Structure 1
Amino acid sequence: MGHKHIRRWDSGALAHAVTDPFGQGPLPWLRGSETYFDDTGQVVPWYVDPAPATGPDAAPRIPSPRSTGGPRSADDVRRQIKGFTSTGAVAPGEAVDFRITVDPPQEFSVDIYRIGHYDGEGAAKITTSPRLSGIVQPPPLAADRTVSCHHWWLSWRLQVPSYWNVGAYVAVLTTADGYRSHVPFTVRDNRPADFLVLLPDITWQAYNLYPEDGRTGASLYHAWDENGRLLGEADAATTVSFDRPYAGAGLPLHVGHAYDFIRWAERYGYDLAYADAGDLHAGHVQPTRYRGLVFPGHDEYWSTAMRRTVELARDSGTSLVFLSANTLYWQVELAPSPSGVPGRLLTCRKRRGPGRPALWREIDRAEQQLLGIQYAGRVPEPQPLIVRNAGHWLWEATGAHEGDGIDGLVAGEADRYFPRTPLPSHEERTLLAHSPYTDSRGARRHQETSLYRAPSGALVFASGTFAWSPALDRPGHVDPRVQRATANLLDRICKRD
């Protein structure tokens, strides 16, 4: 980047490194590459579009925005249109409250999409709001790096009809002059289903740097100094609020991991119910209604109540499917908003301040005691996943043989088995992959994929990599072996054998 300081937040695209997630087709916000900011403030792609390199040192291509035609993406500096829901997940028959700022003030509309396969489209438009009058809402309130917009006026109340399907939804906000932003939300109900998909909204919020304005925004990872430089974890927020938009285009970092699984699972007709991690925390989830709980995305931040509910689920025979890595890493607390709405403030002290450490493994409750493996570190470049125990039923009919490599499947972050850390009680346990990689310091490391059967009969699967869900249904990353192995796992859980 040279010596010149580039004000990257001017584009409002820092969290995603793409200004227009709609740049690749009809509904491509579900399809784009994902990036994150590493400790040095550099953009690092988790996944890179498989474009041909043009030279020996060609860098991986991060998709550039289309500048021609169609709506433009709103940003956090000019705040052309930005919004959030103040309600969390809702059931059919309930209402979703949207709080939206529009600058300059003008009419806007809201298109509601439901995520699913929909013949490869990835989502379907369910309804459109009437034309609404937009106002400039007051600036976000910031206290001790906690940014909140709980004082914004209600802009639109969406009454969810009783006949709507449960699922992951995205509201697409568009101004009359053609700026666009997004607001994800979940429609849930309590009916029994084979699987409950848990969307990791608590982890999404931990990474949310709104507003990306070079001044006030803060996440649990970053904040800004007075010169607009991005600061690291030591200077980040310890409490973040759900009462604010998501940064950039309004979709959370890593949201695609959950959508990849949902598109694939709905295509194959699995019986799914939906909830947020916030519902798990609040006690809204009754695990005995489901044969399995599926954690499809990066799910790093867990409260004590979340862990307790999931452990009780496993011990009562409900299976657990963890499709990402670095799960259950930080312990968090949730508290009411200033206006008294429960669960709207998320606190994680990391390693700062008085009190006990916030890593689960440092309070003698290591993740491995639930998952069977635990977080080992970042993977600088995607590596092959090396199949182990190929005779196991999980690999049946995949065509995978012992020692085969599945290209690019170990990516982002990796888990492994820690021999000195206690294992959960189990009847049987298998490591289904053992994949070497080199970390950023040049040290040799390895990733593992784990499956164990708890004494209750519940199966607990942990992929140990970020790239598992994208291999189910992300163009350029789909792998039929991973699709088949995942189907083998879900089918076995459905049959309870």
Structure 2
Amino acid sequence: MRRRSLIGLLSVGAAGLVAYARSASASRIRAFPNRASRENRHEGTEAWRVAGNVSDTARQIQGYASATSVNAGESLDFHVTVAEPQPFTVTVYRLGHYRGAGARLMHTSEELAGRPQPVPVPDPATGLIDCGWPPAWTFQVPGDWTSGLFLAVFESRDGFRSSTPFVVRNDGRRSDLLVVIPFTTYAAYNMWPADGHTGKNLYRGYRPDGSVGGQPERAFQVSLNRPFAGPGSPSWFKLDVAAVQWAEATGYDVSYASSIDLHQGRVDPGRHRALVFPGHDEYWSGAMRDVVENAVRTKTHCAFLAANNIYWNVRVEADPRGVAGRVVTCYKDDPDPAPDAVGPTERWRSLGNDRERAEARLLGVQYNGILHEPVPLVVRKAGHWFWAGTGLRDGAEIHGLVAVEADGRYRALPTGYESKQVLLSRSPYLDRMGRGEKIQNTSLCQTPDGTIMFCAGTFHWPLALVESKFTDVRIQRATRNLFDRMVRR
């Protein structure tokens, strides 16, 4: 088995680690044709990985897509800047397993005329940085492309490379699993341009001396009309890539959408057995949450494979040119000048009466802290079907699996729907913010009709599914147990 790095940290291999899953994959219980499995039989390539040779100061080549997703057969614009006028190309890759290579080369543009584009001045009231650059290339996505997570790689003639992700949808078909990529959270963390004086996100911005400030310097609005900082990989993108590659390697029938699609009503839970939220998915509009609440009511399972989900309420708004779904607004602890029917853009747990909109009311658990360092996940309820075939016992420890941020159960916050909750882990950790010992819980809630709401409750869960320093075949098996159960209904 060859070892490969995935965006600096994560390997894209795992063929050997998930080979056992192929013989017992979801194919025997699948209801619809599996286009993703057929797609992954194509030859892969490792050329999709982008080295960090681009900076937000020099801006050798950077770009963004005009939308977070596009239906197969429709077109997508790419907006690109270069440091010096010169030709460049755009190469499009579909991410998946592809026998361990991690992606397939789908299309390469002709040489395009590259021109420098300006860095906008942040809006003085909201901090919004919206590029509004003209399209540099319009790409007509072939109608026969399989839905997936894609990467557009920009390469200048002088050898600099950067990228931006997007989703291709297949709106006309059903699938067992719909994987929703968290672009609203990507936007919230994007600091572009991280140049020492201009960039802002929903957490911080630059002080006059060039140091990174906090709440006084941050933005209240962030735009998707700008590159992702550096070489173009969004914050915690590796979690989403890991989950995508594992699901496709294991043989599930998968299709894809973005969180903007969730917001704009393009996701019908009834067309899928389960909705899968693969990574860090913190920023949610009321419309996004409504879809998931409807999914639980209409017997569509949900799985959240990381932690700190549905934490901030946001508005998803139009950009300055009137294009819907391109601006994420969140005032957090500052006064929101224009709350909508959901309420001000603050923590979900602060909305409603008696914390009725707290994230645990939907998820079963919610964010409870930031870890000082990774700790073991301590197994609980080892006799549950979730842990079947793993060989684990109560109290067994899975090294380093609980990390970055964690979720836990709040006894005073039962789900807002009838369900039976099983806590599959009970992992003590020290909170980095000095709030003492906390407990992480992996949670599975099941309604009387069998609908499952699963929350892993830790950032490292997706990394355990693929070849990485956190790989664990027991987590792979448990996750397969979960997905197989969801696919069976």
Match of 1:335 among 278, 296, 317: 317
Asked if 1:174 corresponds to 2:162, the answer is no
* Amino acid of the structure 2 residue aligned with 1:128: T
- Summarize deviations over 1:234-263 as a string: whole Å, max 9, x none: 421010111000001111010010100111
- Summarize deviations over 1:130-169 as a string: whole Å, max 9, x none: 111100112324212211102x111001110011111000
Q: In the alignment, is the contact (CA less than 8 A) between 2:307 and 2:367 conserved in 1?
A: yes
Offset, 1:27: 7.0
Asked if 1:85 corresponds to 2:50, the answer is no
Q: How many residues align?
A: 436
Asked if 1:164 corresponds to 2:145, the answer is yes
Whichever structure has more strand as a proportion of its residues is 1
* Amino acid of the structure 2 residue aligned with 1:214: G
Identify the residue that residue 29 of structure 1 maps to in structure 2.
7
* Amino acid of the structure 2 residue aligned with 1:421: L
Match of 1:127 among 103, 107, 122: 107
Q: 289-298 or 225-234: which moved more? A: 225-234
Asked if 1:383 corresponds to 2:375, the answer is yes
Distance in 1 between the 2:237 and 2:331 partners? 24
Distance in 2 between the 1:253 and 1:71 partners? 16
Identify the residue that residue 457 of structure 1 maps to in structure 2.
450
Identify the residue that residue 347 of structure 2 maps to in structure 1.
359
Q: Residues 66-85 of structure 1 correspond to what in structure 2 (within 5 A)?
A: 73-85=53-65
Q: In the alignment, is the contact (CA less than 8 A) between 2:313 and 2:346 conserved in 1?
A: yes
Distance in 2 between the 1:27 and 1:487 partners? 24
Distance in 2 between the 1:73 and 1:91 partners? 32
Identify the residue that residue 431 of structure 2 maps to in structure 1.
439
Q: Residues 257-296 of structure 1 correspond to what in structure 2 (within 5 A)?
A: 257-296=239-278
Q: In the alignment, is the contact (CA less than 8 A) between 2:280 and 2:307 conserved in 1?
A: yes
Q: In the alignment, is the contact (CA less than 8 A) between 2:303 and 2:455 conserved in 1?
A: yes
Q: In the alignment, is the contact (CA less than 8 A) between 1:30 and 1:256 conserved in 2?
A: no
Q: In the alignment, is the contact (CA less than 8 A) between 2:239 and 2:278 conserved in 1?
A: yes
Say which structure, 1 or 2, has more relative contact order (CA 8 Å, 6+ apart).
Answer: 2
Aligned residues: CA RMSD: 1.7
* Amino acid of the structure 2 residue aligned with 1:219: N
**Is there any run of 5+ residues in structure 1 with no aligned partner, and where?**
1-23, 34-69
The structure-2 alpha-carbon separation of the partners of 1:357 and 1:382, relative to structure 1 and needing over 3 Å to count, comes to same
Q: In the alignment, is the contact (CA less than 8 A) between 2:284 and 2:314 conserved in 1?
A: yes
Distance in 1 between the 2:435 and 2:130 partners? 41
Distance in 2 between the 1:136 and 1:202 partners? 27
Distance in 2 between the 1:357 and 1:154 partners? 32
Offset, 1:332: 0.1
The structure-2 alpha-carbon separation of the partners of 1:316 and 1:361, relative to structure 1 and needing over 3 Å to count, comes to same
Offset, 1:439: 1.7
Match of 1:476 among 469, 480, 483: 469
Identify the residue that residue 167 of structure 2 maps to in structure 1.
186
- Summarize deviations over 1:254-275 as a string: whole Å, max 9, x none: 0010100111110011000100
Distance in 2 between the 1:25 and 1:153 partners? 40
Offset, 1:87: 2.3
Q: In the alignment, is the contact (CA less than 8 A) between 1:72 and 1:178 conserved in 2?
A: no
Q: Tell me the SS of whatever aligns to 1:154.
A: coil
Q: In the alignment, is the contact (CA less than 8 A) between 2:52 and 2:230 conserved in 1?
A: no
Asked if 1:155 corresponds to 2:148, the answer is no
Q: 318-327 or 126-135: which moved more? A: 126-135
Q: 349-358 or 459-468: which moved more? A: 349-358
Offset, 1:403: 0.6
* Amino acid of the structure 2 residue aligned with 1:471: A
Match of 1:324 among 298, 306, 321: 306
Distance in 2 between the 1:241 and 1:118 partners? 33
Distance in 1 between the 2:477 and 2:270 partners? 26
Identify the residue that residue 466 of structure 1 maps to in structure 2.
459
- Summarize deviations over 1:33-58 as a string: whole Å, max 9, x none: 9xxxxxxxxxxxxxxxxxxxxxxxxx
Distance in 1 between the 2:314 and 2:65 partners? 22
Distance in 1 between the 2:93 and 2:230 partners? 19
Distance in 1 between the 2:364 and 2:358 partners? 10
* Amino acid of the structure 2 residue aligned with 1:114: R
Q: In the alignment, is the contact (CA less than 8 A) between 1:107 and 1:176 conserved in 2?
A: yes
Distance in 1 between the 2:363 and 2:222 partners? 27
Identify the residue that residue 117 of structure 2 maps to in structure 1.
137
Distance in 1 between the 2:140 and 2:80 partners? 17
Distance in 2 between the 1:401 and 1:71 partners? 42
- TM-score, normalised on structure 1? 0.85
Identify the residue that residue 415 of structure 1 maps to in structure 2.
407
Match of 1:346 among 317, 328, 335: 328
* Amino acid of the structure 2 residue aligned with 1:236: R
Q: Tell me the SS of whatever aligns to 1:350.
A: coil
Identify the residue that residue 368 of structure 1 maps to in structure 2.
360
Q: In the alignment, is the contact (CA less than 8 A) between 1:287 and 1:313 conserved in 2?
A: yes
Distance in 2 between the 1:81 and 1:167 partners? 25
Q: In the alignment, is the contact (CA less than 8 A) between 2:85 and 2:114 conserved in 1?
A: yes
Offset, 1:477: 1.6
Match of 2:213 among 207, 231, 252: 231
The structure-2 alpha-carbon separation of the partners of 1:231 and 1:72, relative to structure 1 and needing over 3 Å to count, comes to closer
Offset, 1:442: 6.8
Q: 269-278 or 353-362: which moved more? A: 353-362
Offset, 1:30: 6.9
Identify the residue that residue 420 of structure 2 maps to in structure 1.
428
Distance in 2 between the 1:176 and 1:79 partners? 14
Offset, 1:425: 2.4
Offset, 1:456: 4.2
Distance in 1 between the 2:448 and 2:191 partners? 42
The structure-2 alpha-carbon separation of the partners of 1:25 and 1:141, relative to structure 1 and needing over 3 Å to count, comes to farther
Q: In the alignment, is the contact (CA less than 8 A) between 1:27 and 1:121 conserved in 2?
A: no
Q: Tell me the SS of whatever aligns to 2:70.
A: coil
Q: Tell me the SS of whatever aligns to 1:252.
A: coil
Offset, 1:124: 1.6
Offset, 1:127: 1.4
Q: 474-483 or 254-263: which moved more? A: 474-483
Distance in 1 between the 2:282 and 2:213 partners? 21
The structure-2 alpha-carbon separation of the partners of 1:117 and 1:174, relative to structure 1 and needing over 3 Å to count, comes to same
Q: 232-241 or 306-315: which moved more? A: 232-241
Identity in percent: 44
